Structure formats: C-alpha cells, structure tokens
Amino acid sequence: MSLKDQITEDMKTAMRAKDSERLATIRLLMAALKQKEVDERVELDDAMIVAVIDKMVKQRKDSVAAFTQGGRQDLADKEAAEIKVLDAYLPQRMGADEIAAEVKAIVAELGAKGPGDMGKVMGAVKTRLAGKADMGQVSAAVKAALSGA
C-alpha cells in the first residue's frame, strides 16, 4: 500500500471514529499533497509525499516555538498534536551517531575539506538522507565534520 493510500485510509478511519483533531490534520495533509500535485502537474510518489510531510512538520515546529515564546500555550499544544499525527507518516529517523557516520562517509567520498565545501556536501547529503534524518541535525553534523577535517 502506498503512503498516499495509507493516508486516505487513516482519514476514513478518523471520520468513522469522529476523531476531529486527527481528521483535521489529515485533511490539511491531503490538501497540501493535492496542491503539490496540481502545482507541479505530477503524481506524487512516496518520496515526494515524505518531503511534503517533512516541510509541514518543520513549519509546525517553528510555530510551536513562536507560540511558546508568545505565551500562547494553547496554540502551541495544538501544533504539537498535529506534529504527532504527521510524524506517524514519516519513516524511522536516524540517530545522531548514524547521521555523523553517514556524513563522515560522504565527506570522505567527496574529498571535502573545510567550510568552503559545505554546499557540495549538503547537496550530496540531502539526496542520500532525505526523509531519513532531521536536516537540522544533518547540517550540524556536516559543520562539525568539515571543521574537524
């Protein structure tokens, strides 16, 4: 079953269970996926769907930080609940040690030395680790690997 089919089935299940919060989040996700398909005139595959979900999770994490800083815990909690629903559709994330090992291997493959090669390394890392790791952690690992190289 494709990821899109899974999301559709979960939406139906949430409707039957009258789980309005989960249903609202899944509908937002479905709308974002449909928008991407219409904008780019493509049929989304699982990798593209994961990229959309990743983007939505990042937006919500930013919102949680902003709402918390602004003293709006009620809105921060709502965004955090949406993150939980969206996270269920993302593949298992790599740990910090796995990310560091993968980044070191890529740096060695490319022969990158110093912070000037950050863009080249990040390009290679993004293609290999997209959807598998938090890009914030990846960026920090790349910086650490290049400063130590």
- Predicted confidence at residue 82, as pLDDT, reads 94
pTM for the whole thing?
0.73
Contact present, 35 and 27 (Cβ < 8 Å): no
Write the pLDDT tens digit of every residue in 52-103: 998 999 999 999 999 999 999 999 999 999 999 998 888 887 777 787 778 8
Write the pLDDT tens digit of every residue in 98-148: 877 788 888 777 776 777 677 777 777 777 777 677 777 777 888 887 776
Residue 8's identity, in one-letter code, is T
Average pLDDT over residues 47-55: 87
Q: What angle do CA 62, 11, 61 make, to 5 degrees?
A: 5
H helix intervals, 1-149? 3-17, 20-40, 46-69, 73-87, 96-110, 118-129, 135-148
Count Cβ neighbours within 10 Å for each residue of 3-29 and write b for 16 or more, e otherwise. bbeebeebbeebeeeeeeebbebbeeb
- Predicted confidence at residue 127, as pLDDT, reads 76
Q: Which residue in 25, 18, 17 sits closest to 7, CA to CA?
A: 25
State the distance between the two ends of the chain, measured CA to CA, in whole angstroms. 43
Which residue ranges form the domains of the chain, and what is each CATH number? 3-87 (1.10.1510.10), 96-148 (1.10.10.410)
User: Of 97 and 149, which is predicted with more confidence?
Assistant: 97
- Predicted confidence at residue 148, as pLDDT, reads 67
